[in-house]
Amino acid sequence: MELPQTGKNCQLEGCNALDFLPVACPLCHQTFCGDHRLPSNHKCSNWSKVTKDLLQCDDCQHLVQAPKDGKIGLEQALEQHKKSKCQLFLYPPSNTIKKIDRQCTVKGCRDIDPRIGPVHCNGCNQDFCLKHRHPATHGCQSLDIDEQRKTDRKLAAQEKVAKTFAPQPTKKRRVIKSVPVKSKNGGMVELMKIKSQAKGSASVPVASRIYIYVQGPKESRVDLQSVYFDKKNSVGKALDLIADICKVNNKNNALPPSDPERLELYKCPDMTILNKSDSLEKALKNLDTVLLERQGSISMEEVDD
């Protein structure tokens, strides 16, 4: 950023641009910015008086003057000026100007002002003319480095935020509740209700029936159902019947006890595994709730009491 107290304002009417390296015109002695430093650029009032003695080099845009000894003409002076890489026959005379051996680093540009010299860029450690002195105008590599640093800092910050505030994986939640008994007389109302809705084999004597609620495994998507079985049957047989009701593939007879695919009956809400050899009347009572699920799946469940 150029500061107001640095440099001077261009004296060309309508410009007034602030330039921290202003150029004084050798003809009218006024101060101009880099864009208007040449007599032809600021319509110099004294330009018409010297046009016969000066030519403007189309390579470096500086004024060229033939030597006063008259040995060569103006056109020859201009030709030799170009061959000298725009160093000879500059106006004002070269003995009043510090010789500049360096050129602008921008390819094809020879516009380093001999009155001012090159401007050194600390970003890429190269020399440039006034026109290309700013990093953006000569494509300074420092801009790419700064941009890469910004990108790296942004990615690092995003990665840190992602690690700090990473969403915790939610556990699979499944609510298994036993059906509450609300009546004061030991659940007689609920028992009468389940008897009217429960499904089971008609061959089971009414006096031998046990009425329970069954929740199917997750893979079956069977919601809570009311069923009845013969209370003399074992838990293992009831498990097979419930698997058929839920249409679940039951391979317990071919799987070892520790296999996660084995089906088990869990008593809700404490999720204890029922012993398959026990009879239903020993393991359960009317209105109890059981869950049929595989061993490998129940560990991922969250049970709500």
pLDDT tens, position by position, 233-255: 999 999 999 999 999 999 999 99
**Residue 292 pLDDT:** 92
Q: In this structure, what token pair is assigned to residue 97?
A: 């100007």
For 124, the 3-state DSSP assignment is coil
267's enclosing H/E stretch is strand 263-268
**Residue 235 pLDDT:** 94
Fold of 7-50: Zf-an1 domain (4.10.1110)
How far apart (Å, rounded) are the C-alpha atoms in residues 63 and 97?
Answer: 13
Contact status, residue 79 vs residue 116, Cβ threshold 8 Å: no
Q: Would the pLDDT of 28 be above 70?
A: yes
Least trusted range by pLDDT, from 105-109, 131-135, 144-148, 297-301: 297-301
Give ranges for CATH 4.10.1110.10 in the chain: 7-50
The whole model's pTM is what?
0.42
List pLDDT tens digits, range 126-147: 888 888 888 888 888 888 777 7
Residue predicted with more confidence, 91 or 137: 137
How far apart (Å, rounded) are the C-alpha atoms in residues 44 and 132?
Answer: 24
How far apart (Å, rounded) are the C-alpha atoms in residues 203 and 126?
Answer: 101
How far apart (Å, rounded) are the C-alpha atoms in residues 298 and 174?
Answer: 10
Contact status, residue 77 vs residue 66, Cβ threshold 8 Å: yes
Q: Which CATH architecture has domain 185-294?
A: Roll (3.10)
Q: What is the mean pLDDT of the chain?
A: 80
Q: Would the pLDDT of 97 be above 60?
A: no
Kindly report the length of the chain.
305
Give ranges for CATH 3.10.20.90 in the chain: 185-294
